[in-house]
Amino acid sequence: MSEQQIEANRLLVNRFYHELWNDWQFDIISDLLSPDLVFHGSLGPQKTGHEGFVEYANLVRSAFPDFKHSVEDIIAEEQKVAACLTFRGTHEGEIFGIEPTGRTIQFVGVGIFVFRADLISHIWVLGDRLSLLQQLSNRDPITE
């Protein structure tokens, strides 16, 4: 694989976070994601395809309307990219059975991307869900 393709994959991941997620530009999905995408997000069940991804994104958006991803670092090779992330938002809708708290949350995670035919075909997002739950419930579930 050429350095140009690796850089193109890196740019697709940046667009995925900055345009698709942070700006909620669902109209660019077909430019970034394979029609048979498999998506594993930290906050919900596995989703497939463009429609499944939008369903997941809207779940997150309903709980955190101002949800943002900060890409802290990207590591790319061959057909895979890993992104170190910080997630931020304000809890304004129900999630995990927790009613809106109005709290600003922040947690970290990593996204792992696999590419096929110049599109993202598989995504695993592993966010620090424990930290998120602690912030939403204002308690430490490990010690309580």
Let me know if residue 18 belongs to a domain: yes
Strand partners, 85: 71, 109
Region 20-37: what's the mean pLDDT? 97
Residue 89, domain CATH: 3.10.450.50
Q: Is residue 124 part of a domain?
A: yes
The mean pLDDT value for 7-11 works out to: 95
Compute the distance between CA of residue 20 and CA of residue 14 in angstroms, rounded to an integer: 9
Instruction: Count CB-CB contacts under 10 A for residue 133.
Output: 17
- The domain of 36 spans 3-137
Q: Is residue 14, in this structure, part of any structural domain at all? A: yes
Residue 116 is assigned to a structural domain of this protein: yes
> Is residue 144 domain-resident?
no
Tens digit of each residue's pLDDT (9 = 90 or more) over 109-124: 999 999 999 999 999 9
> Per the domain annotation, does 22 fall within a domain?
yes
Quick one: which H or E segment has residue 32? helix 29-32
For the stretch 53-110, pLDDT in tens is 999 999 999 999 999 999 999 999 989 999 999 999 999 999 999 999 999 999 999 9
Q: Within a domain: residue 70? A: yes
Place of tokens 């991804």: 53
Helix (H, G, I), strand (E, B) or coil at 38: strand
- Look up the pTM and report it: 0.92
In the chain, how many domains are there? Answer: 1
Task: Answer yes or no: is 88 within a domain.
Answer: yes
